[in-house]
Structure 1
Amino acid sequence: MNLRPIGPDDGRRPAVRPRDAAVPSPAAPPTHRAEQLGLGGDMLREDCWSALGPKVRARVEQTAGQTVAWFASVDGSDPDRRPRATVFGESALCVARPRLNAEHKPVYALSSYHLGPIRHLDVDHRPTASAASSRPSGPGSGGGPGAGGAGPSGLSAAARGVLGNLPEKAQTLLQSPFVDGSAVTYCDWYYEGYEHHLEVFVFVLAGAREVTVAAGSKIVPVGHTDATAHWSLRCYRAPVVRRVGA
């Protein structure tokens, strides 16, 4: 699957490999078992974004560049339940986390993955209602990850459960850069909406060398279940050229 560039062509061309060179086949990313996507929470992303404050929002936006996908949610690890934010932009993936400084005063710590050219591929998944029997990874179904194993290093069980809801093609696009042993150093996701319609869905994976993101929406048409939900996603991939912060 070839991803299309999102930004201007930087003039680079792929290297030509000699015909007699042995090219090892990369390991296939696993297809995970889906876990139920629960709904609830204190605030939606717009309210959480506003609660960050104008200075923090300005710093995040300046670092990330033109926004491609974003979310903000309450940080359960913060004693005051302040929000955290993740913004994927054309310049960087930027994360703002609530922290306490040396005087134990509330502040925000920013970290960022500065990116090279972004490529993308659309995933428009429209199974029929009868296709559930051919998709063993539906919510609550038996079995575990596919032949690729547990997935990239650094991917939690919770993350695998969310990934399992996505179409197999989207799971592959998100995980492919990490199947060579590259660890996931940042993983987060967000969705909001209703059981039959997730109006916003974003999933982010980042490592030392690449960042992948899936953003879009999910609809469960009448007569369908989660296992045959319809997904409209755009999957992004970009190389990491510099990392700033923890």
Structure 2
Amino acid sequence: MDPSFPIVPTGDDRPLTRRGGGLDRAQPAAAPLHQAGEMGLDSGEKLRQECWEMIGGRTRDRLTELAGGVIDWFARRDASSLDGRPYAVVFGDRGLTIAEPRINTEHRPVYAISAFVFEPGSLRHVRVDHRPPPYAPSSGPAVGSGPRSPVAPVTGLDPADRGLLGNLPPRAQELLQTPFTSGQGVLRCHWAYEGFEHQLTMFMVCLAGARDVTVASGTKVIPAGHSDATAHWSLTCFRASVARRIGR
């Protein structure tokens, strides 16, 4: 992976699409900008490190083996797990991997592993540093950005997913969703964050489809005099092409 290679070339905000092994310009419909939902913090929730350590070593090793060089990760309580076990998501330079708690046919607790394995050389990234003044509007395109293309719906996101995305800077929302505005649905959307009331020390969200994976990773700070609507975000947004899938 070349970590300095941008998602789009300098001075050209049109996304790149892969056709026949090459990269061509495309003009997809604009990605939707969502209304921000609540991003609450629960002091009773286990942090990601504690949740990670609750998952068996063999499962953890398999996740990191498939992901490659780890870029970011999280583990959090799985609301669907009857025995309270967490699930985990690992994002690396070779793939996005997910471990989810299951009960097998012998009624034993196991983990099901899924992976979106990346096409070699397809992982790209761009920085999004969002620093609005205290009085800036909370959503919508940046002033002076010009008219937006018709907005295309993104399928596969539930209301909680859309509310979470709505907290992010418009540029980050667009980068995350653009691959899914041309008919490709989101098969997986996972996210987690932790920190304090005025600072998230860890934030990660990933969207995975049959052809593309996008991820945003970073931190959020609410400076003195600001609110959630004008929070400062330091994010890296990633995109990779999917070569094959493992599991569901």
Shorter-chain TM-score category? 0.7 to 0.9
Tell me the CA shift for residue 52 of structure 1: 0.3
1:84-123 to 2 correspondences below 5 Å: 84-116=87-119, 117-123=122-128
Match for 2:53: what amino acid? S
Tell me the CA shift for residue 226 of structure 1: 0.5
CA root-mean-square deviation: 1.9
Match for 1:173: what amino acid? L
**Runs of 4+ in structure 1 over 3 Å off:** 12-15
Deviation string 1:186-234 (CA, Å, 9 cap, x unpaired) is 0010000011000000000000000000000000000000010000000
The secondary structure found in structure 2 opposite 1:184 is: coil
8 Å CA contact 2:193, 2:203 repeated in 1? yes
Deviation string 1:130-155 (CA, Å, 9 cap, x unpaired) is 21xx3346xxxxxxxx9626x31111
Are 2:239 and 1:237 equivalent residues in the alignment?
yes
1:19-30 to 2 correspondences below 5 Å: 25-30=27-32
Mapped partners of 1:148, 1:196: distance in 2: 32
Q: 2:66 aligns with which of 49, 63, 67?
A: 63
5+ residue gaps in structure 2? 1-5, 10-20, 141-148
* Aligned counterpart, 1:51: 54
* Aligned counterpart, 1:166: 168
The secondary structure found in structure 2 opposite 1:130 is: coil
Tell me the CA shift for residue 77 of structure 1: 0.5
Mapped partners of 2:156, 2:107: distance in 1: 30
Are 2:7 and 1:3 equivalent residues in the alignment?
yes
TM-score, length-scaled by structure 1 = 0.85
Deviation string 1:76-113 (CA, Å, 9 cap, x unpaired) is 10111101000011111100000011011000010100
Counting aligned pairs with the same residue, the percent is 49
* Aligned counterpart, 1:195: 197
Number of aligned residue pairs: 221
